[in-house]
């Protein structure tokens, strides 16, 4: 258990570092025929102007490199080196502007929302472990549910029906640790929550199952496994002064701890903490290679290669193959992987990779694989 907690803490620290841009530095697109595309998550350089050295050819196949050196500021000194290579002039532009977000899907002149996806998922929690396999399905809909609470005497209080967003995850074991039947997890929120859609299971959801929760967005959660259920409801979004209501077998998930931990570890470490923010800045319709370093032990490398069209859910999506690697020497972590993404879809079509970290002077590696098998879209009325 201590090892699992240590692992999760390590993953969260890396996630915060990557998400907050604490790695510093900047990356610049040097394709001569492409209008630069920026992202809110792009790290910023100091206010003084850096020095650029650029070499570009004018033929359809181009190659360029840039070295950026940030000058010394009054507070600190940082040297950032960025090398990018574009191998051909792009015929069109398309950016993965909403990686791993619950964002609308634009197809032609119409907008759609994702209501269902099904992934084949594999995870190996360490290099000596077997590879575990699951089928992960996610349904999302806006619906009405009956909400309950309890008074101080633990009397059940009926708060009536309320409209909520329902996120249902169905986990079907193929090769698991202990799980031998389908597990259904449903979580309800007052408003749309991107992480509830993207994550099949999030360990932070357990923190909301508390008799003291006063979260005004979280409505409740239900687990169903082998014909048994456990229901937890939070009345705080609709009426204050009440206690949460729960019913069913509260030990239902006791035997599934290891499976749920493995599912979460692979998802957050390999799939969700990849180089998505850097790739989102690049034109997916143009071959591209990029290298980024802050000269302090943090280095990104990534490449993009357009890869035709994939048909999913009755729709055609242009795709690109991507590869990436990251080394964080001070933190003793590395990331590497490859995948297939579409600029039109906020979720990846295929991802495979590993996350390595050092624990007690020994390297441990988490491996995960994710492949989109089915997708359902609903046209936005307007």
Give me the helix-helix angle, 257-266 and 2-20, nearest 10°: 20
pLDDT of residue 240: 93
**Mean pLDDT for back-to-back runs of 10 residues, the chain (382 residues):** 36 39 35 33 29 31 34 38 47 86 91 96 96 97 97 96 98 98 97 89 82 89 96 96 94 92 90 77 92 91 94 95 93 93 95 92 94 96 76
CA distance 87 to 61: 6
pLDDT at residue 364, rounded to an integer? 93
* Spatial CA neighbour of 277 closest among 326, 213, 228: 326
Whole-angstrom distance, CA of residue 141 vs CA of residue 103: 14
**Other Cβ atoms closer than 10 A to 57:** 10
Residue 190: its pLDDT value, please? Answer: 97
Tell me the β-bridge partners of 134: 121, 173
- What is the pLDDT at residue 58? 32
Closest CA to 288 of 36, 54, 29: 29
CB atoms within 10 A of CB 245: 20
Contact 65, 289 (CB under 8 A): no
The pairing of strands 218-225 and 350-359 is unpaired
Q: What is the pLDDT of residue 67?
A: 31
State residue 203's pLDDT score. Answer: 80
Q: What is the dihedral of CA 59, 60, 62, 68, to 10 degrees?
A: 100
At 288 the pLDDT is 92
pTM reported for the whole predicted model: 0.76
Q: What share of the chain is helix, strand, coil (3-state, %, to 5)?
A: 15, 45, 45
Contact 165, 193 (CB under 8 A): yes
With tokens 């390595």, the residue in question is 356
Rounded-to-integer distance, Cα 266 and Cα 352, Å = 10
């Amino acid at each position: 258990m201590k090892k699992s907690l240590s692992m999760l803490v390590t993953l969260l620290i890396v996630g915060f570092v990557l998400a907050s841009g604490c790695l510093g530095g900047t990356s610049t697109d040097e394709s001569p025929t492409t209008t630069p595309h920026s992202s809110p998550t792009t790290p910023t350089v100091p206010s003084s102007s850096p020095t650029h050295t650029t070499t570009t050819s004018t033929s359809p196949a181009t190659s360029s490199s840039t070295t950026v050196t940030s000058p010394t500021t009054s507070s600190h000194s940082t040297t950032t080196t960025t090398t990018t290579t574009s191998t051909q002039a792009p015929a069109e532009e398309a950016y993965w502007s909403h990686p791993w977000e619950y964002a609308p899907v634009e197809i032609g002149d119409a907008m759609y929302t994702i209501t269902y996806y099904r992934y084949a998922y594999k995870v190996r929690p360490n290099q000596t472990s077997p590879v575990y396999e699951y089928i992960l399905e996610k349904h999302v809909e806006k619906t009405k549910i009956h909400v309950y609470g309890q008074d101080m005497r633990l009397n059940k209080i009926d708060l009536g029906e309320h409209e909520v967003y329902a996120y249902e995850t169905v986990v079907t074991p193929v090769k698991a640790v202990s799980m031998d039947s389908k597990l259904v997890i449903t979580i309800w929120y007052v408003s749309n929550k991107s992480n509830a859609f993207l994550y099949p299971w999030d360990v932070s959801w357990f923190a909301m199952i508390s008799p003291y929760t006063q979260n005004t967005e979280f409505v409740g959660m239900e687990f169903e496994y082998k014909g048994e259920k456990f229901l937890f409801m939070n009345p705080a979004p609709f009426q204050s002064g009440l206690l949460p209501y729960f019913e069913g077998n509260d030990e239902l998930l006791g035997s599934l701890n290891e499976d749920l931990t493995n599912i979460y570890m692979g998802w957050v470490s390999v799939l969700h903490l990849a180089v998505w923010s850097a790739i989102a800045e690049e034109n997916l319709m143009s071959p591209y290679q990029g290298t980024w370093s802050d000269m302090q032990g943090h280095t990104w490398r990534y490449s993009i290669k357009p890869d035709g069209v994939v048909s999913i859910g009755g729709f055609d999506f242009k795709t690109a193959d991507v590869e990436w690697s990251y080394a964080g020497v001070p933190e003793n972590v590395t990331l590497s992987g490859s995948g297939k993404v579409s600029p039109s879809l906020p979720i990846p079509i295929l991802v495979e990779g590993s996350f390595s970290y050092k624990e007690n002077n020994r390297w441990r590696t988490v491996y995960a694989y994710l492949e989109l098998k089915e997708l359902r879209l609903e046209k936005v009325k307007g």
